[in-house]
Amino acid sequence: MHGTGVPLVTPFSDGAIDHERLRSLVEWLERSGVDFLVPCGSTGEGPSLTTAERATVVETVVDATELPVLAGTGREALEPTVETTALAAEAGADAALVVTPSYYGADNADLAAYYRALADRSPLPIYLYSVPKFTGRALAPEFVAELASHEDVAGIKDSSGSLGSVQRLVDHTDDDFDVLVGSGSVYAAGITAGADGGVLAVANVVPERASAVFGLASAGRTDTARERNAAFVELNHAVTARFGVPGVKAALAMRDQSVGRPRRPLRPLEREDEAVLESILERTLGE
């Protein structure tokens, strides 16, 4: 999983998954130059999908693309995660992205045992997913380095938004362990610091811009990469911290990629927020 990854939104129509729209979105993103796809993650409303729905989403994505697929399979306990991961493997996924369980406040010893047990039983390579915004805790680089010694723990998506965290993860792990930036605001800097790629919510909306940043940073054109990254930082903030999943879906509609409403309890943006988002998107595309 190197380069620019997209944590795919899940299109809905009347509350049900719209697989035709999902195929269309995948094809558009692939044409836009992204490197791999990540269904059923946070941006894909993974926690709002049933186990069976997750499997069908992964299957649709796999069938629609030649790109690698990193499927979100993390649940709040080992057995459900094992089940979801096995179904993702059957559907054709290449690896599994597993969010940190958080409901019961597991400590490091609990989490280490959980991830090792999962890696022992998983038919897919495991990528850790550290997203403190939703789980309330970040996976420390020292802790990640211990788990990275397991042959089936292949990498991490770090959505802390901290460049320092990305740098320390790179420093604490071997070259064959993939470090993926989870925040579009520090994408160029993260690649320059040694990250292998990123999984960026904003790449749903401006996939060509995110892909260009990775190409420039990888080629050593650091200043240009940072300039291109800076051009979509405000949009990244809008579709993550400010408006979240409803914002990503609204922005996609503005790019003629309609994906329907988010699933409740999330609600579509109010008109005034749509207007704000549209203005930000227009400025971004005009730069």
Contact status, residue 180 vs residue 205, Cβ threshold 8 Å:
no
Token pair 């979801």 in the structure block, residue: 84
| Pick from 46, 65, 37, 43: nearest CA to 249 | 43
List the catalytic residue out of 103, 114, 127, 129.
Answer: 129
pLDDT at 194: 98
125 SS3 class: coil
Q: Is 157 among the catalytic positions?
A: yes
pTM of the predicted protein model: 0.98
- The token pair at 93 is 């996924």
- The token pair at 43 is 């941006």
For the stretch 37-56, pLDDT in tens is: 999 999 999 999 999 999 99
Res. 247 pLDDT band, cuts 50 70 90: very high
Q: Is 73 labelled as part of a ligand binding site?
A: no
CATH of domain 3-221: 3.20.20.70
Q: How far is CA 45 from the centre of its chain?
A: 11
pLDDT at 287: 80
Beta strand 95-99 with 70-72 is parallel
Q: Is 65 labelled as part of a ligand binding site?
A: no
For the stretch 75-122, pLDDT in tens is: 999 999 999 999 999 999 999 999 999 999 999 999 999 999 999 999
List the catalytic residue out of 103, 115, 127, 157.
Answer: 157
pLDDT at 15 over 90: yes
For the stretch 195-212, pLDDT in tens is: 999 999 999 999 999 999
Q: Is 187 among the catalytic positions?
A: no
Going from N- to C-terminal start, the domains of the chain cover: 3-221
